[in-house]
Chain A
Amino acid sequence: MNLTLKIWRQKDSSSKGEMVDYKVTEISEHMSFLEMMDVLNEQLVNAGEQPVAFDHDCREGICGMCSMYINGEAHGPDRGVTTCQLHMRMFKEGDTITIEPFRAASFPVIKDLVVDRSAFDRIQHAGGYISVNTSGNTQDANATLIAKKAADEAMDAATCIGCGACVATCKNSSAMLFVGAKVSQYALLPQGQVEAADRVRNMVAQMDLEGFGNCTNTGACEVECPKGISLDNIARMNRELMKASI
């Protein structure tokens, strides 16, 4: 495939960015999107130009590091995948592909397609844990029975990779799917009950402090989420918050 790429280039967080056009040729349909970006970067390095900076690490869809906005969609046109799992077979000869960073006021651009998602970490610091010391002096793992359904639902929520696609996709730049997923995981498990009220209050307060918007039930986050985190988690978070307030 021969493709035209329109890529957001921005030197650093204080510089102004712009879209720049590039051409790549002989792209195999079996390549992953990031392997296509590798080809472009190798080309740029060999021509003495600066390669395009983008975040990536595990390249198997689990670390949550990669984060491109491709043709107007977080992680590109495929469903249930991160950018590193997106394959070039989703595109065709002669396509022009627009590649931007995840855009949100709370995710400032560091360089090119790399954004700062430390706001997510700070929300987790506010309550994304169970206050149990790691000494191992806890009760036997099987002492508390957990219904399979609850364990499975907690697992579905816990599968969030913290990539930020939900925020990038949301017209309000809301982080409620991300926060809802963590609140839900603990709300569904007996171990999470003790601190449930404080947890949801503190995490939501931090979320607001970081400047994320609110949810208006559009559901775009659920569609674009590479891990299929359900909107139910937002509802559960709201319920938990309500419970914590009365």
Chain B
Amino acid sequence: MALDSKVPKGPIKDKWTDYKNHINLVNPANKRHIDVIVVGTGLAGGSASATLAELGYNVKSFAYQDSPRRAHSIAAQGGINAAKNYQGDGDSTYRLFYDTVKGGDYRSRESNVYRLAEVSANIIDQCVAQGVPFARDYGGLLDNRSFGGVLVSRTFYAKGQTGQQLLLGAYSAMNRQIARGKIEMFNRHEMLDVVLVDGKARGIIARNLVTGEIERHSAHAVVIASGGYGNVYFLSTNAMGSNVTAGWKVHKKGAYFANPCYTQIHPTCIPRSGDYQSKLTLMSESLRNDGRIWVPKNIEDVQAIREGSKKPTDLSEDQRDYYLERRYPAFGNLVPRDVASRAAKERCDAGYGVNATGEAVYLDFAASFIRYGTEQAKIQNIANPSEAKIKELGQKIVKAKYGNLFQMYEKIVDENPYETPMMIYPAVHYTMGGVWVDYNLMTTIPGCYAIGEANFSDHGANRLGASALMQGLADGYFVLPYTIGDYLSEDIRTGKISTDLPEFEAAEKEVSERIEFFINNKGTHSVDYYHKKLGKIMWDKCGMSRNSDGLKTAIEEISTLRKDFWKNVNVPGTATEYNEQLAKAGRVADFLELGELFAKDALVREESAGGHFREEHQTEDGEAKRIKEFQFVSAWEYKGAPKDAVLHKEELVYDNIEVKERSYK
């Protein structure tokens, strides 16, 4: 099947408006007879569920957690971008569009990104209307901060808990519809397959995670909003339960999977401390507004710090290497994430890592304490303030901005970041790749949509900070509710889809057989044993930098591991009870397939772009080197084993932006 991105014609700034004016609508009376399934209740799924229900569709929403409010969007910290230009610093829809395309290293679809920038301002209006308590200044206006890869302040925030507040906003909108009976909520349920009838997505098979019951649910369209697949690395900033299963199941039924190798390794996470570690914790990128990143200039100081004979605060300014400010003077500590991560790795690989494992750099707030403190002393009319007083005043400001992050750091690391610099290291955070979708956000299965992190569309090879929240809500509130109507307009006479159809029967049988296999296998190794092994292969060979040999080895190793898993995995308990190991076994089985496709995609992409860094393709000073021939989206078609997956290319055309070297110097 040829890929058709269905991008409407016309000038980019009119595309979305014109398109909306001409697509088919479903009248309100008919909407009442149409059902939509939404899998996932994060920012994308939650907002889509609420909006579709408001429009009048019957929505069935699914979450594996015990409440929609717990979806992992809740953990997003720093903020959400919007081209409001409230700060009057020259921001515009075009600039947000430009920054996002450039930030994505010219590997995203122009029309989708422009639409995202266009609706971004609406998101803020909407969220304020629904009671999201964004930060404000003393005049009562909304406050903004800056994020990586941009030269304006367009990020709206609610302390370091922006994702939480936006998700609770979407959750509140859902609650209103749940109360009206327009959303039927299925908590503690996991989607285990999509059901196709006459080639269209018409329902799902789900498992009740409390009772183990397998359920059939039908609908006229299915929306996948199940987030990213960062947990293929085992260790990531994702929630423990985050998984690729929903996306992978639709892939296996015909949805192409795009750019699996585009992964974001976030520069500011708390370094790992031991083999028992179950997850990594992010320290918001917003900290780079006020924190300066450095390692010691001299290797002797590194040794002394590791041995404990010196403290970081003992080092004078000229003994420190603020390597981001040195290498990228224009953007400094606010370079995009991929650039900051690789720079940290470069320093640590060269031996300058400051903790016992050699995998940590400093994030230092001392300078901002002074800067804010001096300003406060002036504001408060304190004459000749002492250094201690300035520091105290400054710390108060920093605490108001990032208090919860500092507290989180202290609880985990057991060091006070107000007194000594934080230690950070990159960790897997977000996946730009995902299910391929067209301009309507529809996958290559008719009637099956993918939104938010689950799709591939807007971030290219690297996502800018504070853009994930923007995309999730844009897709769910403002894009999908329009585009899905165009498709559903053909279903006004279809009537309810029966779950007694043979297609449901067959899908349920397949799901049940797999569950029975896990329960009856009685193997020798736990599910986590395999997940950790897979994670290590991924991190070592498909991590921050990749090369041909490593990727080839990874493909072999993952394939061997997968065979071993299907022979020797051990799942205790039964299928008819609350059984977390059983749920996990299914998720890891899917990761073991995705992991191999991931490596294959990375091997085929013979260039460096954004988060995908191929060692063979770099400039003289170690920057990523894009190659013109790879200006396409890799969309993989499932053909059985991952090695047999077939590559389809969506060529990327840039009519409104000049493709040039991505420099932050």
Contact = CB atoms under 8 A, between A and B. Distances in A.
A39 B276 contact: yes
B644 to A, nearest CB: 33
Nearest to B143: A148
A31 to B, nearest CB: 5
B201 interface: no
B298 interface: no
Given A85-B411, A139-B125, A158-B133, A32 B278 contact: yes
B129 A138 contact: yes
B12 interface: no
Nearest to A65: B70
Nearest to B185: A121
6 contacts: A30-B414, A42-B528, A63-B239, A144-B128, A146-B140, A158-B133
A216 interface: no
Nearest to B54: A133
Given A85-B408, A116-B66, A129 B161 contact: no
Contacts of B47: 134
Given A63-B65, A151-B133, A159-B164, A142 B142 contact: yes
Given A28-B274, A31-B274, A32-B278, A57 B122 contact: no
Given A11-B577, A35-B278, A63-B70, 18 more contacts: A30-B274, A30-B414, A32-B278, A45-B572, A48-B572, A50-B573, A58-B72, A58-B240, A60-B75, A60-B281, A64-B70, A81-B411, A120-B67, A121-B67, A125-B178, A129-B176, A139-B125, A189-B131
Contacts of A139: 125, 129
B136 A146 contact: yes
Contact of B175 (A50, A124, A135): A124
B134 interface: yes
Most A CB within 10 A of own CB, among B51, B123, B279, B581: B279
Interface in B119-177: 119, 122-131, 133-142, 158-159, 161, 164-165, 168, 171-173, 175-176
B580 interface: yes
B125 A46 contact: no
A97 interface: no
Nearest to A112: B578
Contact of B173 (A49, A134, A189): A134
Interface in A84-140: 85, 87, 89, 110-111, 114, 116-118, 120-121, 124-126, 128-136, 138-140
A145 B140 contact: yes
Interface in B558-615: 570, 572-573, 577-578, 580-581
Interface string B388-424: 0000000000000000000110011010000000000
Contacts of A60: 75, 237, 279, 281-282, 408
Contacts of A192: 131
Most chain B Cβ neighbours within 10 Å, of A78, A117, A140: A140
**Size band of the A side of the interface?**
35 or more
Contacts of A142: 84, 86, 141-142
A191 interface: yes
Which 3 A-B pairs give the minimum distances between C-beta atoms? A145-B140, A136-B122, A129-B172
Contact of A189 (B133, B158, B210, B573): B133
A111 B172 contact: no
Contacts of B173: 129, 134
Given A46-B526, A141-B84, A87 B412 contact: yes
Contacts of B135: 151, 155
B478 interface: yes
A185 interface: yes
A192 to B, nearest CB: 6
Interface string A21-64: 00000001011101100110010111011110101111111111
A74 interface: no
A35, A134, A146, A154 — which one has the most chain B CB atoms within 10 A of its CB? A134
Given A60-B281, A129-B130, A45 B478 contact: no
A49 B65 contact: no
B339 to A, nearest CB: 25
